[in-house]
Amino acid sequence: MRQWKFAAGMLAGMLLVGVAALAVHRPWQGSGCPERRGGTLVVLGDKDVSSGRQRKAEIERWRGPGGTRAELRELSGVADLQHAQLAATAQDGGCGVDVYILDGPWVAEFAEAGHLAPLEGGGERLDGLLTGELRESGYHDGELWAVPFSAEAPLLYYRKDLLEKADLEPPESWDEVWEHSRTLLADPSSGLRAGYAAQLAHYEGFTINVLELMWMHDRSELLDDDGEVEINTIALQEIREKFDDPRLIARESFTWHEDEATRAFVEGETLFLRNWPTAYRKLAEDPSAENAGRLTEKYGVTVLPRNGVLGGQSLAVAANSPYKAEARRLIEALTGYGAQNRLFWCGGFAPVHAGVYDRRSPEACDAGASDDEGGYVAQLPPEELDTLRAAVEQARPRPNTPYYTEFSRVFQEVLYCDLQPEARVTSCPQKPGSAPEFLPDLEKRLTDALRGR
């Protein structure tokens, strides 16, 4: 049953991104596994889209004992397809892979399936890292399998110019998000079409965004004391009402991923944008802001009210790697202060090491590994590091289960259909009515998914 669920999660991810065949394309393979160049570790993960491909550069900068090197082999940048490619590779025996780059919720799945080697030393490998749920993200069944590599927690970006014009402070609660939206939308000169831009397309972002909106309420814990799913009916009904008002949450959010939501915000369509720290650079480079790489006059950023979903990626040793000791040394280097500082200042990655936040010592970046002149990339400046740190340390994890991908699939299948107003009319197979009518079935299906049934 366990293996069947693992394969089902992989297949579901493939179908979600329109893969028509059962076999997953492995872009680095021809007719078979590549030959291992002596002493070179292989790190397998998503496409490096950082400025100057800084993550790839950092991995290839490393030197181990005897001159051991490492290289990054890149997969799709789409999370669902990336998961399918990683899962397929691992199930084939992890051919030629020494280190996996995994999204947080995938660690338990890969550990349970026997694809990872435990990290000796346990908690000592987390020394120097941020506190909060981030430190727990690599554990499964009491054993450490992965170490955080990048720390992602959502931020709330806002139109600073419009709030100041209306004499409004940045929101500190969800109620203020909606109140500020109504106030500014009542002024035609604002040019706004909606208050809040979310990422609600039919992918993992939908699960994340809806969980964050559920957590608006104090009693929205998702899991009860027995580990069964319990959804707050009042919270779900309130979310439904917000989605029914296209001027509060942009109706187009149901087709948006991160890039589309950011584009709409930059184009002046919404007052607020929920997005990851990586959106900062795109906003800071907006020509209309004239802000020289900083969010100053036009935009501002603060923590998402209450709790955001903990994102980010972790590093794990492949179970069948012949170079496990070297792979652990590589992970130690990549999560240490030096690498984390360079990845932040030159690549824009949110750091996991507390020292980057405490010391605030910018790195001089090589030309081509940052901006065109070899300076710093447009990422959160030192004065906003406290905002990012607070967001990461108060973020909440998604359910820690080997069957998370199946949980998310069921969550999306039912709630995407129920929460999108048009879908309720045109494409919902179950045609759900009010939330209480379908919640018991949804809660049972989600509980079963979490338990691998």
Rounded CA-CA distance 326/40 in Å is 10
Residue whose tokens read 């069964």: 228
In our burial notation (b when 16+ CB lie closer than 10 A, e otherwise), range 237-270 reads ebbbebbeeeebbbbbbbebbbeebbebbbeebb
pLDDT of residue 371: 44
Rounded to two decimals, what is the model's pTM?
0.84
Return d(Cα 142, Cα 136) in angstroms, integer.
10
Dihedrals phi, psi of 195, to nearest 5 degrees: -85, -45
Can you identify the CATH homologous superfamily of domain 2-152+311-379?
Periplasmic binding protein-like II (3.40.190.10)
Site of tokens 């030629």: 96
* CATH class given for the domain over 155-303: alpha beta
Q: What is the residue whose two structure tokens read 């909060």?
A: 132
Domains 2-152+311-379 and 155-303 share a fold: yes
Domain ranges of the chain: 2-152+311-379, 155-303
Structural tokens at position 421: 């107003």
What pLDDT was estimated at residue 59? 97
Secondary structure, 3-state, the chain: CHHHHHHHHHHHHHHHCCCCCCCCCCCCCCCCCCCCCCCEEEEEEECCCCHHHHHHHHHHHCCCHHHCEEEEEEECCCHHHHHHHHHHHHHCCCCCCCEEEEECCHHHHHHHCCCEECCCCHHHHHCCECCCHHHHCCEECCEECCEEEECCCCEEEEEHHHHHHCCCCCCCCHHHHHHHHHHHHCCHHHCCCEEEECCCCCCHHHHHHHHHHHCCCCCCCEECCCCCEECCHHHHHHHHHHHHCCCCECHHHHHCCHHHHHHHHHCCCEEEEEECCCHHHHHHCCCCCCCCCCCCCCEEEEECCCCCECCCEEEEEECCCCCHHHHHHHHHHHCCHHHHHHHHHHHCCCCCEHHHHHHCCCCCCCCCCCCCCCCCCCCCCHHHHHHHHHHHHHCECCCCCCCHHHHHHHHHHHHHHHHCHHHHHHCCCCCCCCHHHHHHHHHHHHHHHHCCC
**Using CA atoms, how far apart are residues 221 and 335, in angstroms rounded to an integer?**
31
pLDDT of residue 195: 98
Residue-level pLDDT at 289: 63
* Residue 111 contacts residue 117 (beta carbons within 8 Å): no
Decide if 347 contacts 380 (C-beta within 8 A). no
- The pLDDT tens digits along the chain (453 residues) read 434 433 444 444 444 434 333 344 444 333 344 555 567 999 999 988 776 788 999 999 999 988 899 999 999 877 778 999 999 999 999 879 999 999 999 999 999 999 999 998 777 889 999 988 999 999 999 999 999 999 989 999 999 999 999 999 999 999 999 999 999 999 999 999 999 999 999 899 999 999 999 988 765 677 777 778 888 888 888 898 999 999 999 999 999 999 999 999 999 999 999 999 888 877 877 777 655 556 667 899 999 998 899 999 999 999 999 999 999 999 999 999 999 999 988 888 889 999 999 998 887 776 444 444 444 444 566 778 899 999 999 999 998 899 999 999 999 988 988 888 765 545 565 544 555 566 788 889 999 998 888
The pLDDT value recorded for residue 112 is: 96
Task: Confirm if 253 and 199 have CB atoms less than 8 A apart.
Answer: yes
